[in-house]
């Protein structure tokens, strides 16, 4: 006679507890992810609002500078604002999940127009006030079209950080903007030549190192000399002050 196998009673309590623990883990993970995404969205929105305010401020400065006396104008005016906007847009571009995000594209177009206006204003002021701004026009594309554009961007960022006097105007050639297309046409820059920079009236295509760019901008040597002389003077002044104090003590 075959005996029926003895079945252990189902421990429903253990199953229920396991279910709730699993559900709690998933809910916690979802909540943390939502919190992080919410913070990221809030950060991006904050940057967007700040960019809009900076753009309005810069446009107002354009109007003021058009009427400014030459004694109140130099080649560093607006450069910090332009560089600050570039940094904020780079943050948005890096942290936005949609590369074609409509608001990001809109802000990049607006920023491109702002840069072109700044470039034109500096050219006019340089004639009016007899000074020569150090300007670089940089044209780039996405990594599929221009794999070296990312590296070129790093080089220009380093240059801008070490020389705030240099005005670097960066233009995304993927933007459908008539003014930008005209600027590219004037400088004869095509998508097959990216990355490309315009220094003075010279067009340089392809990747260039930091040292390569420095050699193309002779004004940087004068800036380096001025900084070195100032450091020497400050060091000499500090040494003299210390010597006087030592004698007094």
Distance CA 14, CA 9 (A): 12
**Would you call 4 helix, strand, or coil by DSSP?**
coil
Q: Are 135 and 163 in contact (CB under 8 A)?
A: no
pLDDT tens, 170-201? 899 988 889 999 999 898 888 888 999 999 88
The per-residue pLDDT of the chain, averaged, comes to: 75
Dmax (CA) for the chain in angstroms is 116
**Would you call 167 helix, strand, or coil by DSSP?**
strand
At CA 212, angle to CA 206 and CA 213, rounded to 5? 85
At CA 122, angle to CA 116 and CA 126, rounded to 5? 150
pLDDT tens, 73-97? 655 555 556 666 666 666 666 665 4
Positive or negative CA dihedral for 30, 31, 35, 36?
A: negative
Q: Are 179 and 119 in contact (CB under 8 A)?
A: no
DSSP string, 105-130: HHHHHHHHHHHHHHHHHHHHHHHHHT
Provide the pLDDT for residue 247.
67
pLDDT tens, 111-157? 888 888 888 878 887 887 777 888 899 999 887 888 899 899 899 98
Q: What are the extents of the domains in the chain?
A: 36-131, 133-229
Judge residue 46's burial from the number of C-beta atoms within 10 Å of its C-beta, 0-12 exposed, 13-18 middle, 19 or more buried: exposed
Provide the pLDDT for residue 114.
80
0.95 exceeded by pTM? no
Least confident window among 187-191, 206-210, 216-220, 242-246 = 242-246
Higher pLDDT, 163 or 49: 163
Q: Is 133-229 a CATH 2.60.40.10 domain?
A: no
């Amino acid at each position: 006679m075959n005996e029926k196998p003895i079945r252990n009673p189902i421990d429903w309590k253990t199953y229920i507890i396991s279910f709730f623990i699993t559900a709690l883990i998933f809910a916690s993970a979802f909540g943390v992810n939502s919190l992080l995404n919410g913070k990221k969205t809030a950060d991006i929105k904050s940057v967007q609002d700040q960019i809009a305010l900076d753009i309005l401020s810069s446009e107002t400065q354009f109007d003021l500078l058009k009427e400014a006396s030459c004694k109140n104008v130099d080649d560093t005016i607006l450069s910090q604002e332009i560089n600050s906007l570039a940094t904020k847009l780079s943050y948005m571009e890096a942290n936005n999940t949609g590369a074609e995000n409509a608001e990001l594209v809109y802000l990049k177009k607006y920023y491109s127009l702002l840069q072109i206006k700044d470039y034109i204003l500096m050219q006019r002021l340089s004639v009016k006030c007899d000074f020569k701004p150090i300007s670089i026009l940089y044209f780039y594309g996405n990594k599929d079209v221009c794999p070296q554009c990312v590296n070129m961007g790093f080089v220009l960022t380093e240059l801008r950080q070490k020389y705030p006097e240099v005005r670097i105007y960066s233009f995304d050639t993927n933007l459908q903007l008539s003014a930008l297309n005209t600027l590219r046409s004037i400088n004869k820059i095509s998508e097959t030549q990216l990355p490309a920079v315009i220094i003075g009236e010279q067009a340089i295509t392809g990747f260039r190192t930091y040292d390569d760019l420095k050699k193309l901008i002779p004004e940087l040597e004068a800036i380096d000399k001025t900084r070195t002389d100032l450091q020497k003077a400050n060091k000499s002044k500090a040494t003299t002050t210390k010597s006087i104090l030592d004698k007094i003590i």
